[in-house]
Amino acid sequence: MRVEFTVNGARQTLDLDARTTLLDALRHHLHLTGSKKGCDHGQCGACTILLNGRRINACLALAVMHDGDDITTIEGLGTPEMLHPLQAAFVKHDGFQCGYCTPGQIMSATAMLQEARAGWPSHASAALQGPVNLSDTEISERMSGNLCRCGAYSGINAAIREVAAGADTAEAAE
């Protein structure tokens, strides 16, 4: 089946078996191997990408379901010369060890910060409405779909906390 979508700003047209997952389309057909395959069952978050700005597990999506959609992978977030703030913060805070989960962690954190800024509550939130205070508990809960077998969680949380605080500061200055 023919499918067209935009990946990291570039229009892509692929001819795929209808059973091809979005993750396999990205990795095997477009050679964007930043998104990782961990469990292939929606349980580890290594394959997290942004679909129309929202985070999803690419291993659970069929590529042909996303004709016309806008996809961002880790390759579209920053560059080695100009890291995205979350990428820089992960480096600064040692938010990884082997690095296998890291692209998924960073994509998930990108969307999570937007969700928090939009006031979306989580299971750890004290109230269903109002501004979200991204405490360590909130960050852990909101990132609970992304597993790290190396246990780099303290660095991951520190990186996200720093970027969240920077975003709050920038918002207050506006």
User: Applying CB under 6 A, which residues contact ligand FES?
Assistant: 37-40, 42-47, 57, 59, 96-102, 148-150, 152
Cβ distance to ligand FES smaller for residue 17 or 94: 94
Q: How far apart are CA 74 and CA 123, in angstroms?
A: 27
Among residues 14, 104, 103, 111, the alpha carbon closest in space to that of 63 is found at: 14
Minimum CB distance to ligand FES, residue 137 (Å):
20
Minimum CB distance to ligand FES, residue 37 (Å):
5
Minimum CB distance to ligand FES, residue 46 (Å):
5
Sheet with 54-57: strands ordered across: 10-15, 2-7, 70-72, 48-51, 54-57
Among residues 24, 28, 29, the alpha carbon closest in space to that of 14 is found at: 29
Cβ distance to ligand FES smaller for residue 132 or 148: 148
Among residues 59, 29, 33, 34, the alpha carbon closest in space to that of 45 is found at: 59
Minimum CB distance to ligand FES, residue 38 (Å):
4
Q: Are 12 and 5 in contact (CB under 8 A)?
A: yes
Cβ distance to ligand FES smaller for residue 22 or 132: 22
Cβ distance to ligand FES smaller for residue 59 or 74: 59
